[in-house]
Amino acid sequence: MDWRSHYRDHLVTAQRAVSLIESGDRVVVHHACAEPTELIEAMVAQAEAYRNVEIVHMVPMGRAPYCAPGMESHFWHNSLFNGGPTRQAIAEGRGDFTPTFFHQIPRLLRDGLPVDVALLHLSPPDEHGYCSLGVAVDYSLAAARCAKKVIAQVNPRMPRTLGDSFVHVNDLAAIVEVDEPVIELPPPNISQVEAAIGRHCASLIHDGDCLQLGIGAIPDAVLRELGGFKDLGIHSEMFSDGVVELFEQGVISNAKKTLHKGQFVATFLMGTRRLYDFVDDNPMVWMAGVDQVNDPRIVAQNDNLVSINSCVQVDLQGQVVSSSAGLRQISGIGGQADFVRGAAMSPGGRAIIACPSTARGGQISKIVPFIDPGSAVSTMREDVEHIVTEHGVARLWGLTLRQRAEALIAIAHPDFRDQLEAEYGRRYTSNRHY
């Protein structure tokens, strides 16, 4: 059928569109800044019509009303990465968390968690009937391809990102036209601690490197230190406004990349309208499913890949906890292991885990003798390479347990070094061996 007729025939209100969801369905929601707010609100407004609808979602940027108190019998949240609104809901039992490597989520949706409905937020169709997944392709592309029904809100303000990032109108079961701002993430404020971390990370970066940066203040602090560099490249799970600024300054050229030379590569984007205008219809930006971007075997095809991610806790052996504090599930592993392992296999690559030396306003040390009971290790001690705090760089790779402890104590906050030294003494200067 001509896609234009299909589009016209399937154009409905949001209320009508979400009535295609049935009780017991598994609904996968478009990720991060592409969250389809109008469809989610319409679905939750009709909560009484549903029983046991499973909502699979990763980084929530909106209110996540499907896991608000009182929604338990209607919706059950299966989180792939907790954020502000969903952290609380999971802690209070209005859902659960599935541990998974980010690059394996498409496989999970194909083979492990069959998708009944995908709720998407798309750009308007081009002349051939293709809508772009815009600022989030990640697992959303796989959800679109596996779902029995795809329901989409189509928004002229969603940038048309290029790459393997398209869904065809003929595959949409219901279309809702909206004209609303795409969710934005403003650049964070950088504290003095983060600025110092940025400087230490920058000392590990060389001209021509290919960068992966996580979300938040530390990646932005690193970018601010890169003004004097040349020919940097980007192959990153995500990027934000700071990368555009460095491109405009001539620092990022992607010219030395060994995979997708000349192109930025990402699987999702979080930023302001400035970023969204930059990526719109821009062949310099290649976006694709997370299995095509984060798979460590693909990451490793970039020479000199430098990954920079953050964490919650590091123990004296170099085990890195990034998504939980005890049994409290703070976030998810995201692409941390994907890129740490990809960087290790990349010729000339380097993996950096960077974090402030303390948490909770300086009350607790992030470098600890033992990780909290219940915490999950995200980067194994065998995988870890560099740990960076505001107090310096510890290169752990290849070090013995004793050397690791020494290197980590040297970058711990001075207020906690005595306690760590005492533990070091118990472990390594007595005859006890663990």
Q: Which is nearer to ligand COA, 11 or 364 (CB)?
A: 364
**Contact (CB, 8 A) for 395 and 343:** no
Smallest separation, CB 235 to ligand COA (Å): 13
Distance of CA 336 to the CA centre of its chain: 9
Q: What residue ranges bind ligand COA (CB under 6 A)?
A: 214-216, 237-238, 309-313, 322-323, 325, 330-331, 333-336, 359-360, 364, 366
Q: Which is nearer to ligand COA, 169 or 298 (CB)?
A: 298
Dihedral angle computed from the Cα positions of residues 203, 204, 206 and 208, in that order, rounded to the nearest 10 degrees: -130
Smallest separation, CB 192 to ligand COA (Å): 15
Neighbouring residues of 91: CB distance < 8 A, sequence distance ≥ 6? 328, 329
Question: Is 248 among the residues known to form the active site?
Answer: no
Smallest separation, CB 323 to ligand COA (Å): 5
**Contact (CB, 8 A) for 79 and 57:** yes
Smallest separation, CB 385 to ligand COA (Å): 14
Q: Which is nearer to ligand COA, 44 or 279 (CB)?
A: 279
Q: Which is nearer to ligand COA, 45 or 345 (CB)?
A: 345
Structure tokens at 256: 């030395």
Residue of 35, 38, 237, 390 marked catalytic? 237
Q: Which is nearer to ligand COA, 74 or 413 (CB)?
A: 413
Smallest separation, CB 12 to ligand COA (Å): 35
Catalytic residue set:
237
